[in-house]
Structure 1
Amino acid sequence: MKKLISSSFRPLALAGAACFLLLGSTAAPARAADSGFTPTQRAEIVEIMRNALKTDPSILSDAITALQAKASAQKATSALEAVHKNPAQFGDSTTDVVLGNPHGKLKVVEFYDPRCPYCRKVLADLDKLVAAEPDLKLVEKVIPVLGPNSVMDTQAILAAGLQNAYVPFQKALMADPASASTDRIRRIALHVGLDPDRLLSDMKNPKVIAAASHNLELARSIDLEGTPTFIIGDKEIIPGAVSYDELRAALGRLRKAG
């Protein structure tokens, strides 16, 4: 999964775990004192804890893992709250492509970067998923997170939508291994039957710029860290290029949740 925001979240989680554990080793005797332990007993307790960590380091790693899992769960909860507050901004769109059933009850939003290899990897699985789930409404939100080349490709995809060719241009662009350039965009536009001059002009259209900016703001509102990221209804957020079976299972959970 490619990163959108710096990975400071994980180091902070680790630092918090370390601080928690260090504070725990010094705070435990104070709590013990309130329970009537003698100084000798408190010293023995601290020594037991130290020896346990020396003989079984997994105690420390398990504690850190548990704290990281808790932090991730809290972050996911916060992100879903942002989705709950503004569901129309995520599930309904006039600028992003909607695959599958536009009136489907199983709503999924994917944030993707056209230059992200993991996003390219899931394209075939998404087509397969749409074919297998007639009640699926899949909204694809393109966001440029990998630098200027991603900005260029994002604007080109959105501009292709103005010629009613978002999907064919998107697939051709994301399958093309050549380096980003206006010549590449022109070549691909011609390949899928678009007017390349209009496409290059439309890439600077205020509507295209606004659509890309809006998608980035939505990504930031859920503290999105990378692409692809899937929002399953308003129940679940899945980061990374998960498999077809995992996406199908997530839809099953969404269906059961009603």
Structure 2
Amino acid sequence: MRPIAVLPTAALLALIALPAPAETFTEAEIKQLALDAILENPQIVMEAAAILQERDAARAQAEAQSTMTENRDLLERDANAPVVGNPDGDVTVVEFFDYNCPYCKRAGDEVGKLLAEDGQVRVVYREWPILGEGSVFAARAALAAREQDGYAEMHEALMGARGRLDESTVLEIAEEVGLDVARLRRDMDAPEVQAHIDTSMELAQSLGFTGTPSFVIGETLAPGLIDADQMQDIVKGVREGG
């Protein structure tokens, strides 16, 4: 039987159950004793896996907390990130999203409800295109639209589009919202466009996000779709906490 991948950790657990040795064991003998203990008590493997999961979760949580603390200004006040709602609002909601993510489209509706209900919220958009080339093209086009003061319109149109977005559909939408498509294509290559996407990737990874949509509100990480009421509850908690 081949040793399983978690044998080193499982071996430590197994050895705890072994009697104190009367003599010094070789490394090979220790491994064999551990393997024998695992075969007799398979639950040791599950216990080892649980320990590893808890350790990984604690490490990820600590890294996410560190990212929020050290990068608060970058998360909430990045001059290279679009802002909607009240630019001087007292609570900031940071949303990581992808235009080809159906849950992001639903989240967009919920963000809209939150802004309609609360005039003191500001929302920072972090373009995080992780669902293929079409998503990357859409994100670059939306960010480039800032040069024509058309980000908000382009963002809403892309979020409202049905079907999967690709280069041709994105350009059609840009034309429909009144953008100069030739200029848009040039502006998509601007360094600040790539810088925004790179920053989103780095922040999302450090925060432990694995998919879109994902939110940061105060000290709260909210991976996945949340509705306007849930957002408002978190916002209220931020206000109450100062």
Q: Give 1:108 shift.
A: 1.9
CA distance in 2, matches of 1:238, 1:102: 22
1:24 matched to 2:9: no
1:170 matched to 2:159: no
CA distance in 2, matches of 1:30, 1:130: 64
Other-structure match for 2:220: 236
Residues 99 and 165 of structure 2 are in contact (CA less than 8 Å); yes or no, is this contact kept in structure 1? no
Residues 120 and 174 of structure 1 are in contact (CA less than 8 Å); yes or no, is this contact kept in structure 2? yes
CA distance in 2, matches of 1:221, 1:169: 28
Residue by residue, what CA displacement relative to the aligned partner does 1:106-161 show, whole Å, maximum 9, x if unpaired? 12211111111221121100011112222212111001212211110110110112
* Other structure's SS at 1:162 match: helix
Other-structure match for 2:235: 251
Residues 90 and 109 of structure 1 are in contact (CA less than 8 Å); yes or no, is this contact kept in structure 2? yes
Residues 229 and 238 of structure 1 are in contact (CA less than 8 Å); yes or no, is this contact kept in structure 2? yes
Residues 135 and 166 of structure 2 are in contact (CA less than 8 Å); yes or no, is this contact kept in structure 1? no
CA distance in 2, matches of 1:81, 1:255: 21
Other-structure match for 2:96: 111
1:94 matched to 2:83: no
Paired residue type of 2:200: N
Q: Give 1:168 shift.
A: 1.4
* Other structure's SS at 1:95 match: coil
Using the size of structure 2 for normalisation, the TM-score is 0.77
Pairing partner for 2:67 from 77, 82, 92: 82
1:151 matched to 2:136: yes
Other-structure match for 1:123: 108
Q: Give 1:66 shift.
A: 8.3
CA distance in 2, matches of 1:77, 1:250: 21
Pairing partner for 1:195 from 171, 175, 180: 180
Distance change >3 Å, CA 30–CA 120, structure 1 → 2: farther
Q: Identify the range of structure 1 (164-173 vs 220-229) with the bigger mean alpha-carbon deviation.
A: 220-229
CA distance in 1, matches of 2:220, 2:58: 11
Paired residue type of 1:249: D
Other-structure match for 2:32: none
Residues 96 and 139 of structure 1 are in contact (CA less than 8 Å); yes or no, is this contact kept in structure 2? yes
Unaligned 5+ segments in structure 2 are: 21-36
Other-structure match for 2:57: 72
CA distance in 2, matches of 1:186, 1:50: 61
